[in-house]
A and B are shown apart, each in its own frame.
Chain A
């Protein structure tokens, strides 16, 4: 312990603006040269992805990297894994690096599971002998024993992902760089991978883990670096950095509007205008304190006279499983048609009710007799339930992962038997 594994000093990366938008052609370049034999064209515009990022990671540390889209997280990982060069600055890496920016890189659909394990393993930097040694373990981990000699194009998407994960999970570098790969795959397998990663952390390996999954970051990484606009915004204990980040109001997925009536979900009777998540009844925010209530707002426009319209919400967890459905039972509008006009219907989720993690809200508007669905937007908005472990939540003094989609604060009583 105490040895430096990664030291980044003032890493900067700028892209030429044109580079990502359009490819150059030799023909245009040559004719451009012919037209401008002496002068040079205008200076190309650049975009800064990283503007001076410095940090140190000690050997054996597990560090989360968070930040909104475009904050430079992926660029940083790409630089550290040597996929692309920094524009200036330097980084020292002390150890063999394995980077996992995607699972199943290089998988070929025509090749069998067995062949892809070798191919993918080699691409990820494993030696042939190492793959041979771990082969059975990988196959067992992926649960594809029966299909190991089948071409992966015949695999279900679940099997394909499991196999891809399994190879990746058996990578044993000294420094592991992971980007958001755990955002896919089915629930139980995701858990298995997270556990495997935890083992990796315990085995003294250095891990940099880029993720949007805040519960996973807080659980896996004792320390987190928050990147914002290409610089290190905060660097410290995960639960503090994560809750600061979430309190800062990302708002990216916690509110949505459909300003264009032609594209809004809906029909001739009604259409959806906007959706908002207001933790604790306040500002629109992505992060919701597990102890506080959350208001879910649906703004919609009624276009036709005489319909009894019933708003309803559908709640899913991050693995896509239904948590529950809530139907508007407001007595004020019970069996009463809504005249044409704009409405906002709000449902309040109680505090200490949902478990930690992402909650995806689907919004629907229905008439019940006969049943007709005017719109159902499956992934309308999303928010994160966070437990900052400051007390007052159902986790009590337990610091580890708490499974389950709901986490109500129940009344407990213990009697001493005489």
Chain B
């Protein structure tokens, strides 16, 4: 038998421990990612007459409730900004993140039909369910800009450039955690029941309701570095949003660095774990 003139396009063999993340393959499947995001968005806005309204109303209602309880009654402070603006600027990334987290956790189990019948890099599924939240975020951002105009506040142009970075950070955190949780949820079907609890607790640990400066000054008062608070990567994302949209500089820069580092760690470990698990998804899901 003469040896094949060209090396095989791919070799199928049992998974080994050390494996590459195969990013090039992911790039080749970018169109599928696009189509799955497009499907999720399209179906969501088609199915519910409320689709658009829901994306607008949910953060607005929450903002109103927060303003009533945390500003008027509890007086949590807002770095000198009008509290409705302050909380909405936090709610935008937070809602996007929490939706993305719960959607992506269930995404693999919900797509078992695809996983059993077609090959593609499975990371596309949780990634698509996170990215599908972007139009909602964009709609909510429109409301936010309306509110800015109402208050007569305008974020400086240079700060606004950081908005995409903050969105990217929120996406990355959601994807990092989403890869962990979605793969775990395939193996252990009760993971999804823990999600609402995780999301709720995480919100209280993030500067959504209250300003990050409250936590960082408390840390510094005890002789601890401020960046510790950045170990919660959503701190960086939420405060990054506030900086971009409101020009708020109350959060010390090391916090962002810590958040970015944790996010990279989450992404890498999540991707490794996911890649290791994905080879048997079709047998289990």
Q: Which residues of A contact B (CB under 8 A)?
A: 3-4, 7, 15, 19-20, 23-27, 29, 78-97, 99, 101-102, 105-106, 108, 110-111, 115, 118-119, 122-125, 127-128
Contacts and interface: CB of A to CB of B under 8 A. Distances in A.
A84 B277 CA distance: 11
Interface stretch (B8-16, B169-177, B255-263): B8-16
A80 B282 CA distance: 13
A85 B280 contact: yes
Closest 8 interchain pairs by CB?
A26-B188, A92-B8, A122-B35, A85-B279, A91-B12, A84-B282, A90-B13, A82-B119
6 contacts: A23-B284, A85-B12, A93-B8, A96-B9, A111-B39, A111-B42
B118 interface: yes
A24 B42 CA distance: 34
A83 B112 CA distance: 12
Nearest to A174: B9
Contacts of A115: 39, 42
A90 B11 contact: yes
Contact of B14 (A86, A96, A105, A110): A86
Interface string B1-30: 000111011111111000000000000000
Nearest to B186: A23
Contacts of A78: 116, 282
A24 B189 contact: yes
A75 to B, nearest CB: 10
A108 B188 contact: no
Contacts of A29: 188
Contacts of B75: none
Given A25-B189, A105-B118, A86 B47 contact: no
B46 to A, nearest CB: 5
Contacts of A123: 32, 35, 114, 118, 120
Contacts of A102: 117
B113 interface: yes
Contact of B280 (A3, A84, A93, A106): A84
Contacts of A82: 10, 12, 119
Given A25-B188, A84-B279, A108 B116 contact: no
Interface in B121-167: none
Contacts of B15: 85
B79 interface: no
Contacts of A110: 43, 46-47
Interface of B: 4-6, 8-15, 31-32, 34-35, 38-39, 42-43, 46-47, 113-120, 184, 187-191, 194, 279-280, 282-284
Nearest to B33: A122
B5 to A, nearest CB: 7
Contact of B32 (A80, A85, A105, A122): A122
B118 A83 contact: yes
A260 B188 CA distance: 40
Given A86-B12, A111-B42, A26 B282 contact: no
B224 to A, nearest CB: 32
Contacts of B280: 84-85
A26 B190 contact: yes
Contacts of A85: 12-15, 279-280
A82 B8 CA distance: 14
B12 A94 contact: no
Contact of B283 (A4, A84, A88, A96): A84
Given A82-B12, A87-B14, 15 more contacts: A20-B283, A23-B189, A29-B188, A83-B115, A83-B119, A85-B14, A92-B4, A93-B9, A93-B12, A95-B9, A110-B46, A119-B35, A123-B35, A123-B114, A123-B120
A90 B4 CA distance: 16
Nearest to A13: B283
A87 B118 CA distance: 19
Contacts of B194: 26
A131 to B, nearest CB: 9
B279 A128 contact: no
B190 A83 contact: no
B279 A24 contact: no
Contacts of B279: 84-85
Contacts of B6: 94
B31 A83 contact: no
B282 A118 contact: no
Contacts of A27: 190
Contacts of B191: 26
Given A3-B5, A19-B283, A93-B10, A108 B118 contact: no
A20 B115 CA distance: 15
B284 A19 contact: yes
A111 B284 contact: no
B47 A128 contact: no
A99 B114 CA distance: 12
Given A83-B116, A96-B9, A119 B39 contact: yes
A257 to B, nearest CB: 33
Contact of A122 (B12, B31, B190): B31
A25 B190 contact: yes
B14 A81 contact: no
Contacts of B13: 85-86, 89-91
A91 B282 CA distance: 18
B31 to A, nearest CB: 5
A90 B12 CA distance: 5
Contacts of B42: 111, 115
B8 A83 contact: no
B114 A105 contact: yes
A123 B32 CA distance: 6
A20 B284 CA distance: 7
B129 to A, nearest CB: 14
A95 B117 CA distance: 19
B118 A101 contact: yes
Contacts of B5: 3
A92 B14 CA distance: 13
